[in-house]
């Protein structure tokens, strides 16, 4: 059985920090399976400790998620999403402060301007 260590190393290099949850999710992905595998081979008192170590990152991850969901939901968003929203808010702030006029450069009218012609079309 070949362990996919090279694949795991490549995945960890490619993932940039996307949210506040990423570090705890990576810790859960590494610590939990290793601890559960070692639990099968350990003696009784030590296996309980390994089981607790396996559950700890998952419990902490759930606590962090609920904490940020209640107090600071933006930290659960990806960095690119937050940057995009900040850019949109800056554009919106600039647009609110000044009035912009839009000139109609084409003489093509969309829709029927003459209300009498609508009635002629139905008859």
CA 39 to each of CA 25, 56, 57, 84, 111: distance values in angstroms, whole numbers, following the listed order: 21, 14, 16, 45, 73
Does a structural domain hold residue 107?
Answer: no
pLDDT at 35: 93
| Cα angle: 73, vertex 28, 54; to 5 degrees | 130
Sign of the alpha-carbon torsion through 86, 90, 91, 93:
positive
Taking only the tens place, the pLDDT of each residue in 1-35 is 566 667 766 665 666 557 777 888 888 999 999 99
Examine residue 6 and state whether it is found in any structural domain, yes or no.
no
Q: Which domain holds residue 79?
A: 21-85
Could you give the number of structural domains in the chain? 1
> Is there a domain that residue 51 lies in?
yes
Condensed to tens digits (0 to 9), the pLDDT of residues 41-78 reads: 988 889 999 999 999 999 999 998 888 888 887 777 77
The answer to whether position 47 is within a domain reads yes
pLDDT digits (tens, 9 = 90+) for 66-120: 888 888 877 777 777 777 788 888 777 555 555 556 666 665 556 555 656 555 5
Whether residue 98 lies inside any domain: the answer is no
Flag whether 42 is in a domain: yes
Q: Which pair of tokens denotes residue 47? A: 């296996």
User: Does residue 119 form part of some domain?
Assistant: no
Domain-embedded: residue 40: yes
- Alpha-carbon gap, residue 55 to 27, rounded angstroms: 11
| pTM for the whole structure | 0.53
């Amino acid at each position: 059985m070949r362990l996919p260590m090279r694949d795991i190393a490549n995945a960890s290099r490619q993932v940039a920090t996307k949210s506040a949850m990423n570090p705890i999710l990576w810790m859960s992905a590494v610590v939990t399976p290793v601890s559960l595998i070692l639990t099968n081979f350990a003696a009784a008192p030590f296996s309980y400790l390994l089981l607790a170590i396996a559950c700890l990152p998952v419990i902490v991850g759930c606590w962090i998620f609920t904490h940020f969901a209640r107090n600071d939901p933006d930290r659960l968003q990806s960095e690119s999403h937050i940057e995009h929203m900040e850019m949109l808010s800056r554009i919106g702030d600039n647009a609110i402060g000044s009035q912009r006029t839009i000139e109609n450069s084409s003489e093509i009218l969309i829709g029927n301007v003459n209300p009498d012609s609508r009635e002629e079309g139905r008859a």
